[in-house]
Structure 1
Amino acid sequence: MESFYKFYCFFQKTLQDLYPEPKELETIFFLLTTHIFQCDKTTILLRLSRKEKINFFTYDKLIKKLWELKKNRPIQYVIGHTYFFGMKFIVNEKVFIPRPETEELVNWILQEDHSVYNHNHSIQVFDMGTGSGCISITLKKKKPEIIQHIHAIDSDQKALDIARKNAKLHNVKISLKNVNLLKDSMYISTNKNSVNIIVSNPPYIKLSEKKLLHPNIVQYEPNQALFVPDEDPLIFYKKISFWIKKRLTGIVYVYFEINQFIYLDIIDFLKKMGFRKIEIRRDFQGFFRMVRAVYYENYK
C-alpha cells in the first residue's frame, strides 16, 4: 500500500507544470482527496502528517482521477460538483463552472432593496443562461419571502437537466425554460406594476481572446457558454435588452456579468437603450466585471 504522503508528492510532480501556482495546486489536491475520502481538510492534513497508508482500491481511484486532471479536465468536473455561496452544486461538461465573480454579482442583487417599487406585488426573476442553476437557486434560497417566481432559461436542455437536479438537491422550485435567446421569442405575462429582475452571466469572451484562457477551460467547458464573435461581442446583452423593452412593463432591474475589456461599450449601449441608474463594479481582482441598470419607462 502507498502512503498519503507519497501520493501527495506524486500528485505535485504530475501536475506542477499544468498548475505552476502552488496554492492552486494545493486547493485541487484537497478538493480531490476530501471528495474521495468523504472527510474534511483537517483529516487529510492529519493523515498526511502521519503518512497513513491508502488501500489499493482507493489509491487506484485517486490515480484515475489524477490522470483526468493531467488531461486538463477541471477538478470540478472530475469530482462532479462545485460550491457556490457555500452550497454544493452538481456540474459536468454541459454547464459552465460557477465562478467567484458570479457570487459577487448575486451578492449585489441580494444586498439591494427592490421592494421600494413593489406595491405588494411579488418580484419576478429571469435568469438568462442559467447553466447549473446556481444563480436562480441561490436567490430563491436566500430571499424566498420576496422572490416568488424565478424563470431559469437556457438553450441547452442537458444544462437544464443539471439545473433541475440542483433545484431538487436544494429543495427549491424554479421554472425551467428551454429557450435560445438568439433565435426564439419568449413571452411571459407580467403585472403592469410588477418588479422584474433580469440577471445574466452570458457568453462574453471574444473568440480572439480564446488564447488567453487556461487549456482546461477551452477543452472542457461548453463553448456556447463562453464565446461570442469578435464583430458583435454584445450580442447577448442586445438580445436581452431588446426583449426587456418589448415584453416587460413595470420596474426592471438588470444585472449583467461583463467582459472587463469592453465595459465602456456596454455602458454606452445601455444608455442608448434608455436604461437608467447604471452602475458598474469591480470584482475581487479589481476588474470591471458587473453592471446594474434600471428600466422603468413604462412604469405608471
Structure 2
Amino acid sequence: MRIKQYRTQFIQELSPFYDAYEAESFFYLILEYKHKLRQIDLALNHELNFSTADLVYWCSILEQLKKEVPIQYLLGKTNFYGMDFEVNENVLIPRPETEELVEWIINENAVIDKSKRLKILDIGTGSGCIAISLAKNLPNAEVYAIDISKKALETAKRNAINNNVEVTFIYKDILELELLKDNFDIIVSNPPYVRNLEKEEIKKNVLDYEPHLALFVEDNNALVFYKKIAALAQKNLLENGQLFFEINQYLGEEMNSLLESMNFKNIELRRDIYDNDRMMKGSL
C-alpha cells in the first residue's frame, strides 16, 4: 500500500478522536520513528510503499491511538528542551510549560562567574527532564534530583546517560524529610498540583495513562508539596539562593501568599505560553 494513501486513511480513522492537524502530526512522528522518513521524503516520492508487516505495525499503533494512549508512550520517547527523553507509564510526559521554567532558571544563572559551582536540587524529578536540562545547559552546575518512585528514577538515570550528563539521583519521599543533607543555590520543583476537583478538565489521554502519583493532590491540601519544599528551602538554600516552582494555574495568589508568609523575597509569578499563572520564583 502506498504510504501517501495510508496517510489519508490514518487521519480519517483518527478523526473522531483528534483534529486533523494533530492526527497528521502523529502520522509523521511515527513515520520518522519507525521508517526514518520525513514529511519531505514522502512529498518527493509518492511511490513509497508500506509492506504487509509495516501495515500490521501501523494498525496496532492506530488502535492504541484510538484508545487515546499518548503518542509519546507509544514511541517511548519525547523531545524536551532540544533533547530526547525516554518516557513510559512511570513518568509524566514533559510539557512545553516546564521548558519555560527551565529556560527561566538557565537565563537567571547563565551569566554568573563560570568558576563558581552551582548546586541545584530538583524535587520530584520524574523523567529527569528538568535536572538533566539544567545539567546540560549550566556546565558549572552540580545537579541532584529526588523522587519517590524507584521506577521513575530508573527512567531518569537512563535519560541522564543518554544525554551525556551527570546527575545524582536520590530515592526519597520529600514529605518525610525534615532536613536535606546538603545546601543548594537553587531548588526547583514541579510537584503534583492538580486538585481532584479539576479532574473533569483533564484529557482522557492524561487521566487514563499518566501516573496519578505525579499529578494529583487532595482538594483540601493542594499546597502540601509547596509548603514542605519551601520549608526545606528555608533551611537548605544558601545565601541569595533561589526557589523555583511550576504551579497550579488557579493557585497563583495562594502561592504568592505562601512564600510571603515564609519570608521569601523577590517573589515573581510568571505566566506560560497559554497565558496561565504557571511559574514562581522566590529567594532568601
TM-score normalised by length of structure 1: 0.90
Whether 1:278 and 2:277 are equivalent positions in the alignment is no
Deviations 1:191-245 (A, max 9, x none): xxxx611111111111111111110100100001111111011111011011112
CA distance in 2, matches of 1:37, 1:186: 50
Task: State the SS of the aligned residue for 1:72.
Answer: coil
Check if 1:179 corresponds to 2:172.
Answer: yes
The one of 225, 230, 246 aligned to 2:219? 230
Distance 2:39 2:17 in 1: 23
Question: Is 1:22 the equivalent of 2:28?
Answer: no
Q: Give deviations 1:61-104, integer Å, cap 9, x for gaps.
A: 11111111111110000000000011111100100000000000
Select 2:48's aligned residue among 49, 52, 61: 52
Question: Which AA in structure 1 matches 2:33?
Answer: H
**Length, aligned pairs only:** 284
Q: CA deviation at 1:51?
A: 4.7
**C-alpha distance in 2, partners of 1:89/1:126?**
19
Q: Out of 7-16 and 203-212, give the one that drifted further.
A: 7-16
Of 86, 91, 98, which residue of structure 2 is paired with 1:90?
Answer: 86
Paired with 1:225 and 1:62, the residues of 2 have a C-alpha distance of 31
Check 1:163–1:44 CA distance in 2 against 1; reply closer, same or farther (3 A cut): farther
Paired residue secondary structure (1:101): helix
Do residues 139 (structure 1) and 153 (structure 2) align? no
Say if 2:5 is the partner of 1:10: no
Give the aligned partner of residue 277 of structure 2. Answer: 288
Matched, 1:129 2:127: no
Checking the alignment, whether the CA contact within 8 Å between 1:179 and 1:186 is kept in structure 2 is: no
Aligned to 1:67: 63
Secondary structure of 1:61's aligned partner: helix
Asked if the contact 2:247/2:279 (under 8 Å) is kept, the reply is yes
Deviations 1:27-64, CA, capped at 9 Å, x for gaps:
222111111112333224445xx153211111211111
Maintained 8 Å contact 2:122/2:189: yes
Counterpart residue number, 2:181: 188
Q: Which amino acid aligns with 1:12?
A: I
User: What's the offset of the Cα at 1:185?
Assistant: 4.2
Residue 269 (structure 1) aligned to one of 247, 254, 258: 258
SS of match in other structure, 1:255: strand
Contact preservation (8 Å) 1:33, 1:44: no
CA RMSD, Structure 1 to Structure 2 (Å) = 1.8
Work out the CA distance in 2 between the residues paired with 1:142 and 1:56. 44
Alignment correspondent of 1:298 = none
1:159 matched to 2:157: no
Structure 1, unmatched stretches of 5+, are 296-300
CA distance in 1, matches of 2:39, 2:175: 44
Counterparts of 2:230 and 2:208 in 1: how far apart (Å)? 31
Measure how far apart 1:4 and its partner are.
1.1
Distance of aligned partners of 1:45 and 1:254 in 2 relative to their CA distance in 1, 3 Å threshold? farther
Runs of 4+ in structure 1 over 6 Å off: none
**Which residue pairs with 2:34 in the alignment?**
36
CA contact (8 A) 2:110 2:138 kept: no
CA distance in 2, matches of 1:106, 1:290: 10
User: Residues 259 and 289 of structure 1 are in contact (CA less than 8 Å); yes or no, is this contact kept in structure 2?
Assistant: yes
In structure 2, the gaps of 5 or more residues are none
- CA 1:105–1:252: 2 relative to 1, 3 Å: same
Structure-1 separation of matches of 2:179 and 2:148: 12
Amino acid at match of 1:124: K
